[in-house]
Structure 1
């Protein structure tokens, strides 16, 4: 007899747990791809682009709003693509795991069915053997009862040539019956074994039913996983398309933007050169005035020495050591945190290098103030410019004010204020330290409210932090 070991079937409570987990997973997957989730995802994408756009504005001071948004979109797509690709890989892994589970369950079902077939076949064979033996015993008993002995056919079966007397015949019958009773006892034992086999068969049947339920649930989860993987694949494909489209759009605009940048750089250089020339004139005038003052002091000292009949003192000379910039005593032009510092800006990896030089110089600092925030003169001075970036072509500055703070020692200082909503001073006007000159805005090349503040010391752009 072939022995088979049926696998342990799940208990009803365990089956409920499995079904609950399957239902929970299906509900989670359903919600994940609902319209609400898709809408939330779009809102998140929009918010991410707006946040990135502010970073772009801080990184690329010179970009217009349209280009700045396109750069922000490209950055967001590039940031989201690795995560989407990983999500796709994870989803594909879940598909593989689910398919493996389905295959394993199907294998267990096949094995259980094979065990069922084996047990069923053995039970049928044992039952047929019992019936045959019982039939033979019945025939012997009936014949012996009727004839008072063992029929010749059974004598031949037992190997005897025949019975000479009734005693011999009865002895032979007893011998046959004893043999058949022993066989019957063995069959009774087999019958008890078959009862156990039938119980095992019932357990196998229950296991098959449970495994089929698990296999169906696993197959459904596999389909859900495949749907999820397909959705993730669509996200990746969409991101790749969006990234490529944004990159192509920026590449297409690159010549136009570079031309605009060249124009802005030319205008900016012109403005800086104009300020530098004005400061050179101021410094030259201050130098001459200082030399004249010292010459006059030397003349008076010599005359005084001659009148008193004593040696003339050594003539004084103008100082040549640089003046400490902090001597101008600048205060903050606006009460707001600094959102972007002064210095070289390297082009972020994966971004368009519009300048073609790997970056550019951010020639001032940005204060992250809201539009309408008052801007005050950080020190007294004369208004050199108060306009909309004209006539030197500095449209990108928006509304601007340029203050001349004059000369201290050997240094001349001017300060620039860009992107103002409006200004309240005019050219040639004298302003005192702390006087209102305008309001923070987002005019010119700006996509968010802020103040771009520059300091020009002796004709060169310097970090305002060294003067504040």
Structure 2
């Protein structure tokens, strides 16, 4: 048993780590002025998760490019939310400013009411002073005349009926004036007390309104600060989206050339397997024809000895064997994170192939690095390398098993991104035998096993054989 070449992995790991570290540093610097540490951590995690999706979509895209694609996708995803947050913040500014304006108007109205009440109190106080002066004059006059005489004294002191009538009339007038003045004073005093109570209430209202207005001003400023921060985020996202898009557009020709080269290499690798399978199928066909010819010859000899017509066995028609006849088991114990089939290019991202998507030619098992990988069926090791013979450098450490021919079908299985392998070319392995360990070598952003099946020269969905 042979393990993978030990010198290649440290170099690859160092290169990948350097690219990712540079990308993370650039991302951190880009957002350091507009986002908190938690937001940066969340965004970093989102980009890493998106990068894994990108790597699944564009299977052999290099780590730096896949991260740029992921950044662009995340920026585009976050921009609408940031714009909505900015709109919400601007709405809060408008609401806060409206509240401040309303409170200012209420304070002005309350102050106007206070001034009106204060003026009324001064007016009432002046009226009370006048009334008190009248009462004082009445009292002084009564004192000078010995007080207001009683009805009996008026009768004794009168010289006649006319004199009595005049005296009594004068006394009643004095009393009426005095009572009216006292009543007026009492009413003015009550009005004044009520006005002072109203003034105290208005003063308290003004104090409360001013406190509310000051608090509203603080909230308005906070809303304006928040809006400014949200606008900075939106501006940064727009700038970073444009920069990421421009960078990818600038690199698009180079990336397309790289991917075209990888597609060519992948097609060659599959064609090599297909040619091997064609030869195996041809060999199996000839062996079957030879077996039938030999059976016919022996049957003819037997018929001649027994003097009867010889039966002729016909070559069976060529129909594909049911794939389940190979009896594949799962090569690793893990859930499937990505299936076989067409992957549409995400809206707004770079369509590197110009076809609107990409064929994910296998399935990905979400297994951690170091998880054992077992042969799903018996077969011969066709490849155990790092993809160099076919130019498939994006596969990292890989193993290809040739499971031979059953009936009219030939099957091979591919295992990519291994940490290491423990088999060698041309070695025979049995079903369930250890062949390597899950890793993240080659163009991979996380530990997983990429598993492919080649049936009769064509890549097919492994789920139809497992």
TM-score category, normalised to shorter length: 0.7 to 0.9
Contact 1:364–1:452, Cα closer than 8 Å, also in 2: yes
Are the structure 2 counterparts of residues 376 and 145 from structure 1 closer, same or farther at C-alpha, using a change threshold of 3 Å?
closer
Q: What is the deviation of 1:356?
A: 0.9
Contact 2:57–2:358, Cα closer than 8 Å, also in 1: no
Contact 1:57–1:63, Cα closer than 8 Å, also in 2: yes
Q: Structure 1, residues 301-344: CA drift from partner, whole Å, max 9, x if none?
A: 22222322333324332242321111111222222222111111
| Worse-matched range after superposition: 403-412 or 51-60 | 51-60
Contact 2:131–2:184, Cα closer than 8 Å, also in 1: no
Equivalent in the alignment of 1:351? 349
Contact 1:347–1:353, Cα closer than 8 Å, also in 2: yes
Question: Which runs of no fewer than 5 residues in structure 2 stay unpaired?
Answer: 1-32, 147-161
Contact 1:337–1:368, Cα closer than 8 Å, also in 2: yes
Is 1:267 the counterpart of 2:265 in the alignment?
A: yes
Equivalent in the alignment of 1:396? 394
Are the structure 2 counterparts of residues 444 and 227 from structure 1 closer, same or farther at C-alpha, using a change threshold of 3 Å?
same
Which residue of 297, 305, 308 maps to 2:306? Answer: 308
Q: What is the deviation of 1:180?
A: 5.5
Q: What is the deviation of 1:373?
A: 2.2
Q: What is the deviation of 1:376?
A: 2.1
Equivalent in the alignment of 2:19? none
**Cα distance between partner residues in 2 of 1:434 and 1:194:** 105
Which residue of 51, 57, 69 maps to 2:49? Answer: 51
The structure whose RCO (Cα within 8 Å, separation 6+) is larger is 2
Which residue of 215, 218, 221 maps to 2:216? Answer: 218
Give the aligned CA root-mean-square deviation in angstroms: 2.5
Q: Structure 1, residues 289-312: CA drift from partner, whole Å, max 9, x if none?
A: 111111221222222223223333
Contact 1:273–1:459, Cα closer than 8 Å, also in 2: yes
Contact 2:387–2:397, Cα closer than 8 Å, also in 1: yes
Contact 1:58–1:339, Cα closer than 8 Å, also in 2: no
Q: Structure 1, residues 14-73: CA drift from partner, whole Å, max 9, x if none?
A: xxxxxxxxxxxxxxxxxxxxx9x9222222222222222222222221211111111222
After TM superposition, the score normalised by the length of structure 2 is 0.83
Question: Which runs of no fewer than 5 residues in structure 1 stay unpaired?
Answer: 1-34, 149-163
**Cα distance between partner residues in 2 of 1:140 and 1:43:** 91
Is 1:370 the counterpart of 2:368 in the alignment?
A: yes
Equivalent in the alignment of 1:204? 202
Are the structure 2 counterparts of residues 65 and 146 from structure 1 closer, same or farther at C-alpha, using a change threshold of 3 Å?
same
Equivalent in the alignment of 1:438? 436
Q: What is the deviation of 1:288?
A: 1.1
SS in 2 for 1:444: coil
Equivalent in the alignment of 1:28? none
Q: Structure 1, residues 152-195: CA drift from partner, whole Å, max 9, x if none?
A: xxxxxxxxxxxx98975884575366246424422321221211
SS in 2 for 1:345: strand
After TM superposition, the score normalised by the length of structure 1 is 0.83
